[in-house]
Amino acid sequence: MRILILCTGNSCRSQMAHGFMQSFDSRLDVFSAGTEPASRVNPQAVEVMAEAGIDIGSHTLHHVSEHLGGRWDYVITVCGGANENCPVFTGRVMHRLHIGFDDPSRAMGTPEFIAGEFRRVRDEIKTRFYRLYAEEIKPQLP
């Protein structure tokens, strides 16, 4: 099963969702991309994912245009910007979903508050994506 997770910058939320979804089942081919990719994966996203036992430090950023002609079982946007600016895919897309999350990289405040926002969003992503996996995706797998 092929899954593409989209965000605007492909540096935080989509990378965390990518890491979690891949950790749920090795039979999944998971990719992430952005409509306006940043220059690197957000270091705080890498840090909070490591706390959860998932290494996304080697993930690379990709532009959504690299994936437009592909065959996808799921294309999932995780931010409003990517949802609104999601291009038309020329390949086959079986399911297109939007599961939105706050952007922790925009959090303002003390370092402790910002770290807490990254953890909160990480945990929300894990919960929502695990529910999608368990209820919808896993039953479709051979």
- The CATH number of whichever domain residue 83 belongs to comes to 3.40.50.2300
Q: Which of 79, 121, 125, 137 is catalytic?
A: 79
Res. 91: pLDDT tops 80: no
Note down the domain range covering 38.
2-140
Domain count, the chain: 1
* 7 given a catalytic annotation: yes
- The beta strand positions in the chain, using DSSP E, are 2-7, 29-34, 72-77, 93-98
DSSP state of 135: I
> Catalytic one among 5, 7, 16, 75?
7
Q: Is 12 a catalytic residue?
A: no
**pLDDT score of 99 more than 80:** yes
The CB-side HSE value for 5 (13 A sphere, CA atoms) comes to: 27
Q: What is the pLDDT of residue 85?
A: 67
What integer is the mean pLDDT of 22-37? 96
Q: Please state the rounded mean pLDDT for residues 115-136.
A: 98
Residue 87 or residue 72, greater confidence: 72
DSSP state of 137: I
Confidence of residue 139 (pLDDT cuts 50, 70, 90): very high
Our answer to whether residue 86 is catalytic in this structure is yes
pLDDT confidence of residue 86: 67
- Is-contact 6 86, C-beta < 8 A? yes
Evaluate if residue 81 carries a pLDDT over 70.
Answer: no
